[in-house]
Amino acid sequence: MSTLDPRSLERRLAALEAELAPLPGVLVAFSGGVDSGVVLAAAVRALGADRVVAATAVSPSLPAAERVGAADFAASLGVRHEQPRTDELSREGYRANAGDRCAFCKAELVDVLAPLAARLGIADVVTGTNADDLRAGFRPGIRAAADRGAWAPLARAGMTKDDVRAAARRWSLPLADKPAAACLASRIAYGVPVSAEGLARVEAAEAVLRATLTTAGLPVRNLRVRDLGSDVARVEVDDALVGELTARPDLLAAISGFDRVEIDPRGFRSGSMNELLPDPVRYR
């Protein structure tokens, strides 16, 4: 349950509106998650649906379920929803999957969205980066997007992740409690090359394991299948389910395509692949 001071949230929501209200129009890079969803809803409240465009980039790194959910949410707000294709895999730095992979992904995203916005007569492209993201340490994608002119209303308004979820609940948005859903490439260990086939393997593994756990009476909120390379996968689930899943190795047998599947005893952690980076890289 949130312990946010309502007055603090009010101030930040007012600051968010102040960032958006002067714009003639805005294109929101909408991933389908709660952060960019709140930006999209705030833009509609500030400008009206006819001056707001949502753009969801479609590529092998976006799970199919996320694309469907994004389309439904945009439709519920009455905004135009563009679904341009991006080609991160054409960028050598993205495929190489070093610690700066996200920079190449965000560069591709903004390089596609900026011309789209221009064709629609829109000058501003905004993202769902929040104030916590700016304090999270190693986030090369944020810099790459900013270098290309995209900006972050939530961060400018000082809105944290808790603020974002509180705003979503206040506005009765259906994604208020949606779990984090980073791109599929975030499941692949740095140094393991990213490919369309590898992304599809991870997506299929997560889908089948989630369905298997639900059928077994173990519904899971947060689930990741991490590709560690050498055909080894590591499963992260909610802390409360680690023990039960460890005691039921038969459930992991649902995952195919890997020679070995192991359970992470520490449970789900957003951005856990960054733990494998050397400190000078992780915190630069």
Domain 6-170: which topology? Rossmann fold (3.40.50)
pTM beyond 0.75: the answer is yes
- pLDDT band at residue 108 using 50, 70 and 90 as cut-offs: very high
Residue 22 per-residue DSSP state: T
Q: What is the pLDDT of residues 150-202, one digit of tens each?
A: 999 999 999 999 999 999 999 999 999 998 888 999 999 999 999 999 999 99
Distance CA 221, CA 119 (A): 39
Banded model confidence at residue 284, pLDDT cuts 50, 70, 90: very low
Q: How far apart are the first and last CA of the chain?
A: 34
Give residue limits of the domains in the chain.
6-170, 184-279
pLDDT, tens digit, for every residue of 232-281?
A: 999 999 999 999 999 999 999 999 999 999 999 999 987 666 665 555 34
Architecture of domain 184-279: 2-Layer Sandwich (3.30)
C-alpha 31/C-alpha 56 separation (Å) is: 6
DSSP secondary structure string for all residues of 67-94:
HHHHHHHHHHHT-EEE--B--GGGSHHH
The sheet with strand 223-229 has its strands ordered as 223-229, 232-237, 260-263
Measured distance CA(183)–CA(161) in Å, rounded: 18
